[in-house]
Amino acid sequence: MAAKRKIPVKTRNPDLIRGVGKYSRSKMYHKRGLWAIKAKNGGVFPRHDPQPKAPAAAEKPPKFYPADDVKKPLLNKRKPKPTKLRASITPGTVLILLAGRFMGKRVVFLKQLSSGLLLVTGPFKINGVPLRRVNQSYVIATSTKIDITGVNVDKFDDKYFTKEVLKKNNKGEGQFFEAEKEDKKKLPEDKKEDQKAVDASLIKSIEGVPDLKAYLAARFSLKSGMKPHELVF
């Protein structure tokens, strides 16, 4: 086969209907310029003789033949797509968390991380929810939106939230219990600073809307007579 072009050439013969081209064979011969190629080559279409192949190195017979024919698994070229974000969730939306430690809390959505999880924050001062990742499935999106333009969330990604790997060093039984007590993890100062930086401009825009601060501080719960399938969020 001749060398493949990087961009396939657009056909010079548009279809009138599928299977019927606009131009006849003779017209296409002229359009493609085969007459010009022939003229350049002295009336004959240029012919390239097959190039002599370089001599292949002599292959040694393999040293080892496997006893059974083991089938190779089929090739999988699937690339998982990033989780599709619901249309109702846009940066600045107030979400209701449905599960976990902060169940029922109303939080502000910041952005979707590359793993598909949603980055949310309380803000921490208002309802105690820190910068946190949450799964889209465990969230109700309300139609309340907050202005989020002053917030810079570029530095947060999934790596920021991974747990630190602790080194195991104590082996003596006597020291065992004392060491456990020391092990209580403290939140590093830079994470606290990040939280404050993100929350500063958020809190300003929240205080601009009356009652919004109290709304975010309160938890959501289903009361008597509320039918979730009829509620508008």
Partner 1 sequence: MPFKRYVEIGRVALVNYGKDYGKLVVIVDVVDQNRALVDAPDMVRGQMNFKRLTLTDITIDIPRVPKKKTLIEAMEKDDVKTKWENSSWGRKLIVQKRRASLNDFDRFKLMLAKIKRAGVVRQELAKLKKENSS
Which parts of this chain interact with partner 1 (CB under 8 A)?
A: 94, 96, 106, 142-144, 211-212, 214-215, 218, 220, 230-233
Please state the closest distance from residue 97 (CB atom) to partner 1, in A: 13
What is the rounded radius of gyration, in angstroms, for the C-alpha atoms of the chain? Answer: 33
Q: What share of the chain is helix, strand, coil (3-state, %, to 5)?
A: 25, 15, 60
| Residue 120 backbone phi and psi in degrees, to 5 | -130, 160
| CB closer to partner 1, 188 vs 208 | 208
Please state the closest distance from residue 4 (CB atom) to partner 1, in A: 58
The single-letter DSSP state of residue 117 is P
Please state the closest distance from residue 131 (CB atom) to partner 1, in A: 23
Distances from the Cα of 122 to the Cαs of 39, 59, 106, 126, 150, in angstroms? 78, 67, 7, 6, 16
Please state the closest distance from residue 212 (CB atom) to partner 1, in A: 7
Are the beta carbons of 205 and 93 closer than 8 angstroms?
A: no
Please state the closest distance from residue 123 (CB atom) to partner 1, in A: 16
Residue showing tokens 């959505």: 109
Please state the closest distance from residue 215 (CB atom) to partner 1, in A: 5
d(CA 147, CA 129): 19
Q: Report which of 128, 131, 125 is spatially closest to residue 151, judged by C-alpha positions.
A: 131
| CB closer to partner 1, 161 vs 220 | 220
| CB closer to partner 1, 112 vs 142 | 142
Please state the closest distance from residue 114 (CB atom) to partner 1, in A: 29
| CB closer to partner 1, 140 vs 153 | 140
| CB closer to partner 1, 171 vs 227 | 227
Distances from the Cα of 14 to the Cαs of 10, 23, 24, 25, 193, in angstroms? 9, 8, 11, 13, 64
Strand spans (E) along the chain: 15-17, 20-21, 93-97, 106-112, 118-121, 132-134, 139-145
| CB closer to partner 1, 113 vs 134 | 134
| CB closer to partner 1, 110 vs 141 | 141
